[in-house]
Structure 1
Amino acid sequence: MEFDKLFTPFQINGCEIKNRFVVPAMVTNFCTSDGNITDQFIAYHEAKAKGGFGLIITEDFGVNPNGIGYKNCIRLYDEKQVARNKEFTDKIHQYGTKLFAQIFHPGRQTNSSVNGGIQPVAASKIPDSFNREIPHELTIPEIKTIVNQFGKTAGLMKAAGYDGIELHLAHGYLLAGFLSLRQNRRTDDYGGCLSNRLRIVHEIYQAMRKTVGPDFPITARISLTEGTVDGRKLPETLAIVKDLEKTGFDALNLSNGEYTSYADAVISSAFTPRGNNEADAKEVRKTVNIPLIVANGINDPVLAESLLDQNVCDFIGMARASLADPELPNKTKAGNLNQIDYCIRCLQGCEGGLLKGSHISCLVNPMIGNETKYPFATKPKPKKVLVIGGGPAGMEAAITAARRGHDVTLWEKTNELGGEFIPATYPPAKGEYVNLLVFLRKQLAIRQVHVELQHQASVEDVMAFNADKVIMATGSDPNFPHIPGIENVPVHFARDVLVGKDPLEGELVVIGGGEVGTETAAYLADAERGHVTVIEMTRDINAGLMRTVDTKRFFRDHEVTVMTDATVQSLSIKGVTVRINDETRTISADGIVLATGYHSDNQLYKTLSERLPESQLVAVGDTVEATNALVATQTGFAAGYSA
């Protein structure tokens, strides 16, 4: 397969970029609490530069100490910070990669617990639904101060060796708020008509251009649509991009949406169509003549080349794809598409970590956030390593141990590698998840791990194998709840339904509205197996990180009934009896699916721990506690590295 366009250099205002692969801005939380660059921050970006990306756009720089959305966001507002930034840019430039710095102000999309105790500011006093604090409406003198801060930071960025600047006008942050009637209710020169709402952008552009000169690239990121009741639609965006080109911006980075809304995902989940912005980007292409970057749901170089072939854009933004595999460009160039660790758009590490106040990580690439902690340059003394269990934790442990130079054997009791991740690939909007299993199986072969399927491990087996290190990755099993009557009716575990082992039809009841239960219900509804009812004992279903809203939409469209605050009282041939709203009722059921959680399969580990020293035996993933695939790959990787 040819990738001529992807590897053809292209320029932005005289800055030649060696290929069309772009890493768009992503918050990492890798900096210090005062916004300064760390070794981890540099190592994280260096991996992408080494992996062949032509342009990296940093996460959003704050222009003052309090203009941040997360505690450890990067900032550049003082000359004293330039030297460390110069170290960073010099490191990236060693690989021929260009580095643009994104510059922003969060506006209302922050809160006083992360920004140093300051009331958020905005175009108007309208809070967002996530941070909830009523923002302070900026006065005109305060606007002028922020404009000057942008100008100063731009000059510092050029002094620090950045190759260009991206001004953040998207996703509901401060400047997006001024542009959009969704946030802007001002009655002065910065509100009302579009020319007024653009005023702050013009002023910031002029302030930045004054400090960086005419030949330094200044680009803008903008949402094509906001997808909210009074948010911006494409026709107005086309007027804005035309104005931005006339103002002097050298390129546009096209995104979509606004954070803290129910609009189509700014950060694409597996529910979002791949190449989500293609159609709208084509309209921008007809409107302006400056270079375009398009992002959102593009995690495959084949799709990227197709978009370039169609002249949709000039560069491809591959944000989370670069997390999953920083080597994606190099592997593409070498023709090794089947060795790319593709992003599966699960969002568990890249968004989940931030929402918990931590840094980003990645389910499919445990090295993210650990670049300085786990170097592979040096090799330990080779050992004989035995991994028991072939799910994601076990495969990750085996691959990593083999990368370290150990002789690794993996035992899996079934006839297939993948564990509980196999049924996880079957529900709607999870087809991409299979890419992880394909990648891990390929890596086991490349790393020459000895894989033995249908090998049920026993204590005697393990002791006879005489490994230097035993890694237990035996996973978990589904719970069988103690419900009156459950022994007298046929019930089915969700995983058996998902893989087609237990086909069901008719009136179907899923007990449990967590991630497994909702996905199984969606699977049954999508296959039109009958009418599906989900019973959840808590106040709401939980379909997993950033999937619940999309799942509710899916349920609505497929007429799935959801009963919350409902407790199952008993099961019988008549159906499922539940207690809801202080009433007892029986739901007719031709099939009952159990999705009531998991428990660790750790009996072998407990027995071995009495026979083997602690230094020789370690448990990973669900063997320790039934959790999720992110924990599985992270703990498997760590155990394999330390084997």
Structure 2
Amino acid sequence: MQSTGTRQGQDAQTGGATAFPHLFQPFQIGPMKLRNRVMAPPHSSAIGNLWGPDEKEAERTFAYWRSRVADGGPAWVGGVTGRVANKLIPGFEPHGYGAETKGYFRLPFYVERIGRFVDKMHSAGAVVTTQLTLLGGVPHAPSNRRSSTLYNHRPHVLRTDEIAEFVEEYRFSAGQARKAGLDGIELHLNHDDMLEWFLSPLTNQRDDAYGGSLENRARFAVEVLTAVREEIGTDMALGVRLNLREEEPGGYTEADGIEIAQYLESTGLLDFLHAVIGSPWGDPSYIQPYFYEPAQWADLAGRLRRAVSLPVVYSGRVNSVEVAEQVLADGNADVVGMARALIADGDILRKAREGRPEDIRPCVGGNECITRRYVDKLPFGCAVNPHTSHEIEGPWRRAARPRRLLVVGGGPAGMELAALTAESGHTVELWEAADHLGGQLRAVVNAPFQQQMARYLDWQERRLAKAGVRVHCGRRATVENVLAADFDVVAVATGATPRRPAEIEGVDQDHFVYDVRDVLLGNVAVGQEVLVVAQDDHLPPLMVADHLSERGHDVTIVYPTAGPAPMLGRYILGGMLARLSARGVVFRFMEDVIGIEEDRIRLRHTYSHRESELGAFDSVVLACGGDADSALHDELIGRVPELHLLGDAFAPTRLVAVTRQAYALAKELQK
């Protein structure tokens, strides 16, 4: 069921005076009329529990999406994740990510709740689709071949009668989606879904009608598509989300991906193809972090688009309106998917349409929105936009008692607090001891692929100016000058000092032992052979190894943990490790550095405490976090009318944490 009208005809109608003529051009896919070319791919599962008994959680999700689609936001909300029921024997308990047993479509309130969501989106001018997803290997699979060496649990190999049962489960799920009033369905044939496992020659080693040739490997998917189309008719759009290629050796290639797409198109069942890249764990992951180029794989989608006649959606690091426009202008897609850019700024399309792209809050691609929910098990949040997930609370309020506020420290916490409080109506000054704002992020921007972080800092400075914050760089706060200024409220965000672990003998040899910040800032000359001491559970050790290895240094990283960066999720870690491996970076795990000498490095095993040695290095880089610098705050206790401490000055942490702290404090100051 191809889209009404010809794709070529719609391409020609660029028109309009906007700086983004392709982005805001209407389009039609099957029965779905799109007011622009932007689709918001699914990420509702991170926002709130749409399916739980708590109505407020569902309303939180509704409010998030209302704020995004209002005022001409994305035309297409693909934001309803749809788990198909996992059919299991009594008592079997799947494990790991995505191991839900009860499909969302089987919930007694599915039709009513999704129906309400669809009504809200329709009233805002957006169409809504759901995905039908069922992960491979938990426990079902076409054969006993796994998709990755990272996962060793053994699957249940599906019999043909069980395949038929799943086809009917997909049919039932599609029927529920139709009853809920959804505009379309996207079948998941990617990212380790069971249907991808059937399509892939890597994971499908069957010798029956569902294995071997492309026609056989695609049989399960075609049977599901047929059942879904029979259930929904032609009033709903139907498409597939398909990996353009598989990254794992033995998987299908780009040429194979095009052949698969052409075969699926030949069935006449589809209205669109959604082209993506990645796995849940590899290089790249399907939620690509900052160290890939924007829209890096759009040209692959373009080659697919030229090989088929169906409309093509492309998603993957479309992190700005400029990138989205370029993907469309280059003819690489008919529609672009944008998720994290919408999380960072829900008004991104309105600002672009109004000719204000410089006002768009940039996504930095750190994947904290994903990591918080699926690694830290914390509420959904965005590193650069603490308003995200609070949409249910309504617009940002004015302060009941506007006051004079001093923020000491122009790092990420201080900048965010100063902006938020000024936007609440307070009179705000920001004092920063350095000659520039940004704090430790000024070092981060020198690491590879950190252009978006630089854009974020520039955006924050423009925001502070627009909000009327009086910024004083080069002004070091002391007890005396703070008291003399006589502010109503003082908030101390003086950050952290670099940590040199005193327990490491020889750590104070300044002539060849350096802090990660000085290395990234270029303040020190680093030798050829570099040892990185990793006492940080997040990105900095990997970031400085990336920085140095890109410049040709030979790098070894020593971790006391069993693996690298335990606070990073699988959606970000694999790509970085692949980059470092390709450059020959050496990793050593479960070892503490206990001594640094000119001619040797002394190590001790984390668990057995057995000591060993490494040879000499030209330089040692300490990626060991920081120590809170709260001295000013501690001296001001009891000496100013109201005093607060936030950010790394309280306890060193990550960007997402300090911006959320600033938000929480700014709300308190509204009272």
- Whether contact under 8 Å (2:283, 2:578) holds in the other structure is no
More deviation, 13-22/122-131: 122-131
- Whether contact under 8 Å (1:413, 1:457) holds in the other structure is yes
Structure 1 residues 486 and 194: alpha-carbon distance in aligned structure 2, compared to 1, 3 A threshold? closer
Tell me the CA shift for residue 71 of structure 1: 6.5
Tell me the CA shift for residue 50 of structure 1: 1.7
- Give, in whole Å, the separation in 2 of the partners of 1:266 and 1:628: 23
- Give, in whole Å, the separation in 2 of the partners of 1:485 and 1:206: 69
- Match of 1:558? 583
- Match of 1:232? 252
- Whether contact under 8 Å (2:386, 2:659) holds in the other structure is yes
Structure 1 residues 379 and 526: alpha-carbon distance in aligned structure 2, compared to 1, 3 A threshold? same
- Give, in whole Å, the separation in 1 of the partners of 2:180 and 2:236: 13
Query: Structure 2 matches for 1:221-620, cutoff 5 A?
Result: 221-247=241-267, 248-260=269-281, 262-373=282-393, 375-376=395-396, 380-482=400-502, 483-487=504-508, 489-490=510-511, 491-512=513-534, 514=536, 515-528=539-552, 530-542=553-565, 544-545=568-569, 546-572=571-597, 574-579=598-603, 584-585=612-613, 587-611=615-639, 616-620=642-646
The code of the aligned residue for 2:532 comes to V
- SS of 1:462's partner is helix
- Match of 1:640? 666
Tell me the CA shift for residue 39 of structure 1: 0.5
Tell me the CA shift for residue 19 of structure 1: 0.5
- Whether contact under 8 Å (1:59, 1:101) holds in the other structure is yes
- Whether contact under 8 Å (2:429, 2:469) holds in the other structure is yes
Query: Structure 2 matches for 1:156-171, cutoff 5 A?
Result: 156-171=176-191
Structure 1 residues 192 and 100: alpha-carbon distance in aligned structure 2, compared to 1, 3 A threshold? same
- Give, in whole Å, the separation in 2 of the partners of 1:561 and 1:125: 33
The alignment status of 1:28 with 2:54, answered yes or no, reads no
User: What whole-Å deviation, never above 9, does each CA across 1:58-89 have from its counterpart, x for those lacking one?
Assistant: 24212338899276998223564222212211
- Match of 2:92? none
- Match of 2:134? 105
More deviation, 329-338/459-468: 459-468
The code of the aligned residue for 2:46 comes to T
- SS of 1:22's partner is strand
The code of the aligned residue for 1:627 comes to T
The alignment status of 1:57 with 2:68, answered yes or no, reads no
Gaps spanning 5+ residues in structure 2: where? 1-17, 89-96
Structure 1 residues 586 and 79: alpha-carbon distance in aligned structure 2, compared to 1, 3 A threshold? closer
- SS of 1:349's partner is helix
User: What whole-Å deviation, never above 9, does each CA across 1:246-279 have from its counterpart, x for those lacking one?
Assistant: 222000110123224x342211112223212222
- Give, in whole Å, the separation in 2 of the partners of 1:583 and 1:151: 61
- Whether contact under 8 Å (2:367, 2:572) holds in the other structure is no
- Whether contact under 8 Å (1:29, 1:70) holds in the other structure is no
Tell me the CA shift for residue 416 of structure 1: 0.8
The code of the aligned residue for 1:640 comes to A
Tell me the CA shift for residue 175 of structure 1: 1.4
- Match of 1:18? 35
- Whether contact under 8 Å (2:86, 2:100) holds in the other structure is no
- Give, in whole Å, the separation in 2 of the partners of 1:553 and 1:63: 33
- Give, in whole Å, the separation in 1 of the partners of 2:501 and 2:75: 54
- Give, in whole Å, the separation in 2 of the partners of 1:355 and 1:128: 22
The code of the aligned residue for 1:387 comes to V
- Give, in whole Å, the separation in 1 of the partners of 2:334 and 2:152: 38
- SS of 1:99's partner is strand
User: What whole-Å deviation, never above 9, does each CA across 1:197-239 have from its counterpart, x for those lacking one?
Assistant: 2222222222222222223211111111111122121222212
- Give, in whole Å, the separation in 2 of the partners of 1:127 and 1:424: 38
- Whether contact under 8 Å (1:29, 1:72) holds in the other structure is no
- Match of 1:113? none
- Whether contact under 8 Å (2:147, 2:192) holds in the other structure is no
Structure 1 residues 608 and 135: alpha-carbon distance in aligned structure 2, compared to 1, 3 A threshold? farther
- Match of 1:114? none
- Whether contact under 8 Å (1:354, 1:360) holds in the other structure is no
- Give, in whole Å, the separation in 2 of the partners of 1:320 and 1:190: 37
Structure 1 residues 73 and 333: alpha-carbon distance in aligned structure 2, compared to 1, 3 A threshold? farther
- Give, in whole Å, the separation in 2 of the partners of 1:80 and 1:510: 53
- Give, in whole Å, the separation in 2 of the partners of 1:312 and 1:579: 52
- Whether contact under 8 Å (1:33, 1:71) holds in the other structure is no
The alignment status of 1:7 with 2:32, answered yes or no, reads no
- Match of 1:629? 655
Tell me the CA shift for residue 11 of structure 1: 0.2
- Give, in whole Å, the separation in 2 of the partners of 1:32 and 1:213: 27
Structure 1 residues 162 and 493: alpha-carbon distance in aligned structure 2, compared to 1, 3 A threshold? same
Structure 1 residues 358 and 494: alpha-carbon distance in aligned structure 2, compared to 1, 3 A threshold? closer
Q: TM-score, normalization: structure 2?
A: 0.87
Tell me the CA shift for residue 192 of structure 1: 2.6
The code of the aligned residue for 2:643 comes to L
The alignment status of 1:176 with 2:196, answered yes or no, reads yes
The code of the aligned residue for 1:191 comes to G
The alignment status of 1:124 with 2:147, answered yes or no, reads no
- Match of 2:6? none
- SS of 1:142's partner is helix
- Match of 2:159? 139
- SS of 2:475's partner is coil
- SS of 1:76's partner is helix
Tell me the CA shift for residue 23 of structure 1: 0.8
- Give, in whole Å, the separation in 2 of the partners of 1:339 and 1:2: 15
Identity percentage of aligned residues: 28
The alignment status of 1:76 with 2:95, answered yes or no, reads no
- Give, in whole Å, the separation in 1 of the partners of 2:619 and 2:58: 55
- Give, in whole Å, the separation in 1 of the partners of 2:578 and 2:294: 19
User: What whole-Å deviation, never above 9, does each CA across 1:613-642 have from its counterpart, x for those lacking one?
Assistant: 7xx333222122111112111111221232
The code of the aligned residue for 2:115 comes to K
- Give, in whole Å, the separation in 2 of the partners of 1:589 and 1:357: 39
User: What whole-Å deviation, never above 9, does each CA across 1:375-406 have from its counterpart, x for those lacking one?
Assistant: 42565332322222111111111111222222
- Give, in whole Å, the separation in 1 of the partners of 2:319 and 2:612: 49
The code of the aligned residue for 1:553 comes to A
* Corresponding pairs, count: 628
- Give, in whole Å, the separation in 2 of the partners of 1:232 and 1:488: 52
- Whether contact under 8 Å (2:83, 2:105) holds in the other structure is yes
